[in-house]
Structures are given as C-alpha cells and as structure tokens.
Amino acid sequence: MKSKIKKILDNMKLFIINNRLFVIFIVISILIGSTLNLMTIGSIGNIKSIISNLLVALLYGSIYYLIKPNHRYYYLLFFIVFNTFLAIGNTIYYDFYHSFVSISLLDTSSMVGQVNDSLWAKIHLHQFIYLIFIIIFVLIYKFGKKFNYVDKNKNNKIVFRSILAISSVIFVFLALSMSSIDRSRFVKLWNRESVVRKYGLYVYTINDLIQSVSPKLNISLGYDEAALKFREYYSCRKEDNTANEYTNIFKGKNLIFIHAESFQNFLVDLKINNKYVTPNLNKLAHEGIYFNKFYPQISVGTSSDTEFTLNTGLMPSSSGTVFVNYFDRTYYGMPSYFKKMGYYTFSMHANNREYWNRDVMHKTLGYMDFYAKDNLVIPDDYESEDIVGLGLSDKSFFTQIIPILNNIKSYNNNYFGTIITLSNHSPFKDLEKYGDFDVSMNYTYEDVYGKKVTSNVPYLTSSSMGNYLKSSHYADEALGLLFKELKENGLYENTIFIIYGDHEARLSKSEFNLLYNYDPITNQVKSSDSEDYYDVYGYNYDLLKNTPFIIWSGEETFNKQIEKVMGMYDVLPTIANMFGFKENYSLGHDIFSGSEGIVVFPNGNVLTDKVYYSDLNEEYVSFTSEPIETDYIEKLQIYANKVLEVSNGIIMHDLIKREEGKIGECLNE
C-alpha cells in the first residue's frame, strides 16, 4: 500500500516538474477566481467553488497539449489575461450593482453613457489587483527554466485524455453534490452571488452564457413549464377581496406619483447640526400616510425596474431588464387601469425619452403621453444653475411642467400621472449647486477646567455620505418648490399625491458607519465595542435600503404611519383597493388587507414582519421574541421561488397575452 501511494506521489511530482507552466496556469486561474470572491462577497468561497474553478481551468487548459509547443505559452497567457479582465469587470460591476456581469446586459450597455460619472465613482485602484497575476505568469515564463517541457512524441495525448478523465470525475462530483434547491438557484440565476460563492466565477460565467443565449435561440424553451405554473398560481391565488377602511377612499380622485430619485428612508427626520436634511419630505410624511418599511425590489434596471414593478406588481426580469429586453410583451400596468376608467394618463421626466427605452415602454404600461426632455427648455449654457447632475435641474423641471399640468387639468375630468425626478442621482458631485447645507459637526465638551466649549469638526465633509445629504437637501428644496407651485395653481383640488423613493443611493457600509458612529472627540469612527455603537454591517445594511412611500393630499390630513413591511409589488393592489378597481396579475397584496407583510427580492431574499431571510447565506434574523418555526422559513423559500418563477415566466414568454383565458379552477385545494 505504501509503495502504491509513493508511486502515485512520485508520478504527481514528475508531472509537476515536466508540466510546470501548465500547473502554474491552473494555480493562477484558481487564485484569480478566489480573489474575485474575496473582493466582492467577502470570502474566498467554499471548497466547491475552488474545485469548480479547477474544473474549468483544467478543461480549457487541457487544449494546451494539442497546440504546437511554440504557441502554448501564448495560449495560456490569453486565458490568464481573459480571466483577469473578467474578474476586474465583475469586481467593478459588483461594487455598483451588488451582482455579477451577465451577457444578457449587453442590450442595456447603451444606458451606461448617461450615468458614466456614477460608474467612474465606483472605480478604485484596488479593483485592478488582478493584474499582478498576469505579471507573475509572464515573469515566471521569462525567467524560469524548462517550463514548457513535455515529451512531445509520447505524452501529449495521454496527458490530454487524463485531464479530461479527471475533469469528468470532478464534474460528476459537483453535479451529485448539488441539492434540488441549489440546482434551482444555479439554473434560474436569481441570486448570482450565491452561484459565484458556491461554484466560482468561471462556472457562473459559462452558466450565465448558456442561460442568456438559450431562450434567444429557442424562444419556446421552457414555455410549457412556465405556462403550467402561471395557470396554477393564478387559479389558486387568494385575492384580497375583503373590504377595509381604505376601500374606495379615493375613488374618482386624480392621482400623481412623484418618483423621487435615490431618496432613502433614513433621510426622514434626519438632522445635521440641528437642521433637517429633508424638511419638505418630513412634512409630507407627517401629514400623509407614511410607510416607513417600504422596500424597492430592483435588479440591474434600477429606476426602470422600480417603474415596472410599481406599475405592474410583477418582479424585475432575472435576465436583462424588462424596459430594454422585454418591452414588447403584454402587461397590465397601473396607467392602463386608470385609462380604462376614463382617466388621461401621462408621465414626465427631464431626461432623454429614449433612455431606458421609456418612450416605448411607457406606452406599453398604458401612459398616453410622455413629456420628456424635448418638451422642455434646456439652456444652451450647461454651466448654468438650470443644469444639475445628469441634466435639467429638478427646480427648473418642476417650474416648466406646471403649465403642462394646468393644461392637463383644463382638458380632462380625471388624470393619472408620474413625475420622475433627476437631480438626486449619483455620484452627487454638483456641490457648488446644492447650496450651503453644512455637513460638518458642532459639538460641546468640557475642557480641563470644567468650562463648556463649542467646537467644529469636519464629520461628513468631503465624504460620499456628506455629498449625498447635500444633494438630497437640494432635491428636497425642489420638492418644496413643486408643492408650492401646485398649491398656487389650484392643482391640489381632488388630487392624491404619492411620493416614493425609487431605490437606494448605493452608499457603502463605511459611509453609513461614518454617519452613525462618528466620534467628534477623537475625529474617528467608534469601535464596535463602544456602548452606543450602531452596527451598519450584515443584515442591517440591507435593511437600510428602504425608501419612503407617502400618500398625501392637500385637502385632507391623515397623520398615519404604517409599520408593516411593504414591497413595490404591493403598490398596485393597494391603489386598486383605494381607487375602486380590480387588478389582475400583481404578485403583491393590498397592504391594508390584514395579511402579513412579505417582500420578495429579485435575489431570493425575503423580508416579513417577523424575519429577514438571506438566500445567499441561507440564514435569517428574527425581529420578534417569539420562536421562528423551521417550516416558516421553508415556506418563505417556497413562496419566493414561486413568485420569481411566475413573474419571470410572464416576462420571458409573454404569458399574460398567451395564457390569460386558460386560467381555471384551483385543483390544489
């Protein structure tokens, strides 16, 4: 036995000596993949991800033995370079979107140009650390000896076949070790982080390529299964038919949504130096119906995902974006419901109408007219105060749309509209135009003589958080201007306003740590063992991504705060109940129905009034002192999978159009 083991070890040693360049290529490929995991998810991954990276490296590395000796080095170098820039691109993308690059996003690449400042703000020197692997590989080849030696006459095909055999064994091991839940995540790619963590960068990339291209090559692929799940879900869906105190409360009134760019909920009632960051937003929240646990359910489409989910009650696409990739499907959008009730429907935005394909998709959702940049006056001097951030300032935009709104009111008995703001978009760099909102800190302390002394420290000055607060304060001033103009022009009459933050501002954990844990005495961030330390990491960081959702009327004060968790897919059924119409295909629920609040996120995470479940970590945090039953979490996982499957099937296969008349009685009860 010992002699056999020794022989195996001797053969392995001999292989390494005679195939050193190939072995170094394999090691560097694995290191690139593990470094990617560490730079993004925060760990090098598990043993399965390392084995997966090994498998892919062996597969395309094995071709090395079929290539002419003088070309072999360049073949391996090509893949080292490819892997390096694949890792760099994914690291930058992850820092911006908290996900990984997909081939399906090529159609949306044209959208990057208008937000390139935001993207550049996320590019840092450490993201290019992978370049060191190219340098190491080149230096080893240049200064090493006999790295390309192989017995050309006998061993090449034998080594090639041996590597393929080893790869086959590894592949079978990975396939057998994959549970049914893992297999579902792997194929459907809802949680791309989970796939990269468990199976590595290279397997994820190959899988994404297959999943992105297959439906385009065969549009009927998976149709039958998706259609069956669609019919089963809607035939057995328990609808919120019970009337409540808000049923028909706004029937016959006008409705205007105000899509507040990057407004996060922590801004509400936030003070810096005893001054509110968003006094106008605070006023609206206190006077209206304020939902303080409202969560966007966005994917890579950001604002466009918000518009889609809020209007249809469906989830964003798991592949690409609905606005760009699936605009030609049939959807029941909120504007279409109001249009059927005789309302004039419109949308307004100061950006180019083609951005995110809004000019086409807004018609699909049911908007009759879209007032965009070409309907407004844009100053020739782009250094003027009318240009803030990505384009026309909110203040100029709001002033210009008032005459349009007056005209709409004059010619229509009822109207439904969405006003999309722009100025508070990352990277929050127009500091000279935001005004003089001070983000330093004044504090009082006792000196050695017991005398109280007031001092000032930089605090958030020159930080991304400070810049965001200045930008938000400016956007809030513009919001105040809008409501002042609305009131002065008699546009409060018979009208309900809904103000919502479209998505988070993509601020880092360290920026929140600075906001909540700054110590003016030491001019540093407090340590985690400090008595009043607020932990912004882990689950708390995810939970800070909620945005304000406010229902407000200039004719009636509500003074209500709703503590129930709510997602964007809950907006349509909630509005349907309040305005007295029946909606058909939303995946959310009327928030006033009495059922438990539940928010499914596109990555498979689930938030309820009781727990927050992370699909990536397969763990949850409880918000209640009551014990959480195991089957409760299992039911959440099943529910999330069902919601995501049904929504994705509708989007991918146009199921509303093709299957609507085939929904029968529920057979599962």
Task: Count the Cβ atoms, other than its own, within 10 Å of residue 477.
Answer: 19
* pLDDT confidence of residue 19: 78
Quickly tell me which residue has 């722009």 as its tokens.
422
Mean pLDDT of 408-414: 97
CB 282 within 8 A of CB 276: yes
* pLDDT confidence of residue 266: 98
Six-digit token pair at 661?
A: 């008349």
**Cα of 647 vs its chain's centroid, Å:** 17
pLDDT band at 600 (very low <50, low <70, confident <90, very high): very high
Mean pLDDT of 273-288: 97
Question: How far is the C-alpha of 40 from the C-alpha of 93, rounded, in Å?
Answer: 10
Q: What is the pLDDT of residues 560-582, one digit of tens each?
A: 999 999 999 999 999 999 999 99
Query: Closest Cα partner for 215 from 301, 313, 320, 298?
Result: 320
DSSP single-letter state for residue 21: H
Question: How far is the C-alpha of 190 from the C-alpha of 299, rounded, in Å?
Answer: 10
Query: Closest Cα partner for 334 from 310, 314, 356?
Result: 310
Query: Closest Cα partner for 177 from 58, 57, 47?
Result: 47
pLDDT, mean over the chain: 88
The number of C-alpha atoms within 13 Å of 433 and in the hemisphere containing its C-beta is 22
CATH of the domain spanning 260-590: 3.40.720.10
Q: What is the pLDDT of residues 458-481, one digit of tens each?
A: 999 999 999 999 999 999 999 999
- Distance between first and last Cα of the chain: 62
Point out the least confidently predicted range of 182-196, 429-443, 500-514, 533-547. Answer: 182-196
CB 226 within 8 A of CB 662: no
Beta strands in 243-368 (DSSP E): 254-260, 271-272, 275-276, 289-295, 344-349
Query: Closest Cα partner for 231 from 589, 583, 646, 586?
Result: 646
* pLDDT confidence of residue 561: 97
CA distances from residue 214 to 208, 256, 414 in whole angstroms, order as listed: 10, 41, 45
CB 592 within 8 A of CB 334: no
Please list the helix, strand and coil fractions of the chain in percent, rounded to the nearest 5, in that order.
50, 15, 35
Quickly tell me which residue has 């103000």 as its tokens.
499
Six-digit token pair at 625?
A: 């002192």
Question: How far is the C-alpha of 627 from the C-alpha of 517, rounded, in Å?
Answer: 31
Q: What is the pLDDT of residues 102-116, one digit of tens each?
A: 887 766 666 655 555
Q: What is the pLDDT of residues 282-303, one digit of tens each?
A: 999 999 999 999 999 999 888 9
Read off φ and ψ for residue 30, nearest 5 degrees: -65, -40
* pLDDT confidence of residue 151: 47
Point out the least confidently predicted range of 130-139, 191-200, 353-362. Answer: 191-200
* ∠ CA 461-467-468, rounded to 5°: 135
Identity of the highest mean pLDDT range in 115-129, 297-311, 331-345, 587-601: 331-345
**Cα of 15 vs its chain's centroid, Å:** 46
- 3-state DSSP call for residue 524? strand
Beta strands in 555-667 (DSSP E): 560-562, 566-567, 598-600, 606-608, 611-614, 619-622
**Cα of 94 vs its chain's centroid, Å:** 10
Indicate if the pLDDT at residue 46 is higher than 90.
Answer: no
Beta strands in 297-405 (DSSP E): 344-349, 369-371, 387-388, 391-392
Question: How far is the C-alpha of 493 from the C-alpha of 238, rounded, in Å?
Answer: 36
pLDDT band at 444 (very low <50, low <70, confident <90, very high): confident
Indicate if the pLDDT at residue 249 is higher than 80.
Answer: yes
The number of C-alpha atoms within 13 Å of 202 and in the hemisphere containing its C-beta is 27
Q: Which residues lie closer than 8 Å to 468 by C-beta, 6 or more apart? A: 262, 426, 428, 505, 507, 511
Radius of gyration of the chain from its Cα atoms, rounded to whole angstroms? 28
Indicate if the pLDDT at residue 153 is higher than 50.
Answer: no
Task: Count the Cβ atoms, other than its own, within 10 Å of residue 449.
Answer: 6
Read off φ and ψ for residue 362, nearest 5 degrees: -65, -35
652-658, Cβ contacts within 8 angstroms, sequence gap of 24 or more: 652/215, 652/222, 652/226, 652/317, 652/319, 652/326, 653/219, 653/222, 653/223, 653/226, 653/227, 654/329, 654/330, 655/226, 655/227, 655/230, 656/329, 656/330, 656/331, 656/332, 656/585, 657/329, 657/330, 658/227
Point out the least confidently predicted range of 3-17, 72-86, 222-236, 590-604. Answer: 3-17
Mean pLDDT of 601-619: 93
| Ranges of each domain in the chain | 2-217, 260-590
Indicate if the pLDDT at residue 413 is higher than 50.
Answer: yes
Rounded to the nearest 10 degrees, what angle do helices 131-143 and 20-40 cross at?
A: 170
Residues written for the chain = 669
Question: How far is the C-alpha of 399 from the C-alpha of 405, rounded, in Å?
Answer: 11
Q: What is the largest CA-CA distance in the chain?
A: 96
Mean pLDDT of 209-217: 73
pLDDT band at 152 (very low <50, low <70, confident <90, very high): very low
pLDDT band at 123 (very low <50, low <70, confident <90, very high): confident
* ∠ CA 658-598-105, rounded to 5°: 55
Question: How far is the C-alpha of 441 from the C-alpha of 245, rounded, in Å?
Answer: 45
Q: What is the pLDDT of residues 517-544, one digit of tens each?
A: 999 988 899 998 888 899 998 899 999 9
Strand 566-567 to strand 387-388: parallel, antiparallel, or no bridges (unpaired)? unpaired
**Which residue did the predictor score with more confidence, 112 or 347?**
347
**Which residue did the predictor score with more confidence, 175 or 140?**
140
pLDDT band at 370 (very low <50, low <70, confident <90, very high): very high
